[in-house]
Amino acid sequence: MAMCVRKYDIARWTLCLGISLLLVLVIATTGQVIDEENTATTCDAMDGTCNNEAKADATLYRSDLPASYCGSDSDSGETTTTAKDLYRYGGTAQAYKPGTAVSPNVCPETLSYESLYKVASWPFTRRTSKTSPIMNFSLKLYGCSSNEDDSSHSSSCDCSPLVTTKTVVEIWQTRPDGLYGSPRNIKNNNDDDECRATIPVDTRTGTAQFTTVAPGSTGIMGGLGPRSSDYWPYGPPVIHILVTTPPTSNEKNNDVVLYAPLLLDLPALIHSTTLEQRSFSLSAFDWRGHAWSKRKQSKETVPPFDITSWNINDEKNRIDIDVDIFLERIPPPVEGTIKTTASAAEPEFCPSFTYILPGALFLEPIAVCAKSLLDFFPM
């Protein structure tokens, strides 16, 4: 019986890989179309260091950010959130699962030494070590809106701490070994949601604090391959963050205030001995399906986050990291069209016209958009 199941699995996978290989050609073409307008960025967005000038006063008020946060000119006043909003800055949701438990711990700290740490700093090999660093994050959430001062025509927007909104911050990532939590990937694992959590947000300060263990790098199988398999090309490890807010009303004039949902991949490539932040070499050669189909940042936009501090505690094998996250204010929704949480926003998560491409599959949350594929990607 077990034998049959196994054979069946192999057949399925052979078929799946065959189709994927064929479609690689298709992706090669579409991938280029998607990237066309996104030529080389002026800074390496992956290391979050390109907008230093915006760091001056992270705790109080920020008005020196480019208009790209503010949903102004380029957005033609559309009033519903769509997949476009969600993926605007690039992000991967393949292993997203809705409705994870509220907890300030994403991966249990014990994984730091219970799991191997497999990290790639370029596409062709992963380096394996026995322990992975513990990461202690403090996220500060900002709401950004257009500068209303028409006379100046300044291309800036105002960002202030998001304090009154019931912001929902969902985090997921691979284990240190580069695999997403999955019964089939983890021996004796009873917890499907390993390394996934909804983070408590302090609405008085607009901050969210969580600890986790450094994620590993995924390869061409996206960290979801059968029997824990994955192959080059590898990519940089990331922590996925989805931030959604319900509409609130402005106390002063009763306007509806709404922010576009934000899906981002926070870079988490760490130097194995110094614990310093690194950037991925040959980042232009990230050939993984989800990387190809992912929206890239254009020259005009800066990442919707800023890593403002990275403090290494060698003795404790821990890094304390402060990150500012910028949500973009969007026009109020037409009554009744807006959905307030990611799980409720199911259709927005699934731009179904790209469904047949493996690249699209790898971009979209499998558990939300294509449940039947869980046979292939058992999460």
Alpha helices in 207-334 (DSSP H): 289-293
CA atoms within 13 A on the CB side of 353: 3
> How many whole angstroms separate alpha carbon 227 and alpha carbon 218?
14
Question: What minimum distance in Å lies between the beta carbon of 271 and ligand NAG?
Answer: 20
Distance in Å, CB of 49 to ligand NAG, minimum: 20
C-alpha–C-alpha distance, residues 208 and 230, integer Å: 32
Give the nearer residue to ligand NAG in terms of CB position, either 138 or 203: 138
| Least distance to ligand NAG, CB of residue 261, Å | 25
**Rounded-to-integer distance, Cα 18 and Cα 92, Å:** 24
Q: Rounded to the nearest whole angstrom, what is the least distance from the CB of residue 233 to ligand NAG in the complex?
A: 34
Least Cα distance to 62 among 326, 330, 256 occurs for: 326
Torsion of the alpha carbons at 348, 350, 352 and 356, rounded to the nearest 10: 170
* Nearer residue to ligand NAG within complex by CB, 63 or 138: 138
- Per the CB < 8 A criterion, the answer to whether 365 and 94 are in contact is yes
Nearer to ligand NAG, 73 or 314 (CB): 314
Compare residues 209 and 354 and give the one whose CB is closer to ligand NAG. Answer: 209
Strand residue runs (E) in the chain: 62-66, 117-122, 125-129, 134-146, 156-161, 168-173, 196-199, 201-202, 207-213, 238-244, 248-249, 256-259, 262-267, 305-313, 318-330
Q: Of the two residues 51 and 317, which places its CB atom closer to ligand NAG in the complex?
A: 317
103/138 with CB nearer ligand NAG = 138
Q: What is the DSSP string of 169-220?
A: EEEEE--TTS----TTTSTT---TTTTEEEEPEETTTTEEEEEEE------T
Distance (Å, whole) CA 258 – CA 80: 10
DSSP string, 310-331: EEEETTTTEEEEEEEEEEEEEP
Sign of dihedral through CA atoms 284, 327, 173, 32?
Answer: negative
Rounded to the nearest whole angstrom, what is the least distance from the CB of residue 60 to ligand NAG in the complex? 17
Residue closer to ligand NAG by CB (options 202, 300) is 202
Positions that interact with ligand NAG (CB under 6 A): 136, 138, 209, 211, 320
CB 231 within 8 A of CB 220: yes
Q: Minimum CB separation from ligand NAG for residue 288, in Å?
A: 32
In the complex with ligand NAG, which residue's Cβ is closer, 138 or 248? 138
Nearest residue to 133 (alpha-carbon basis) of 270, 235, 308, 241: 270
Using the minimum distance from each CB to ligand NAG, give the nearer residue, 44 or 320: 320
Q: What is the closest distance, in whole angstroms, from the C-beta atom of residue 176 to ligand NAG in the complex? A: 18
Q: Shortest Cβ distance from residue 138 to ligand NAG (Å)?
A: 4
CB of 165 to ligand NAG, least distance (A): 21
Half-sphere exposure of 119 (CA within 13 A, CB side): 28
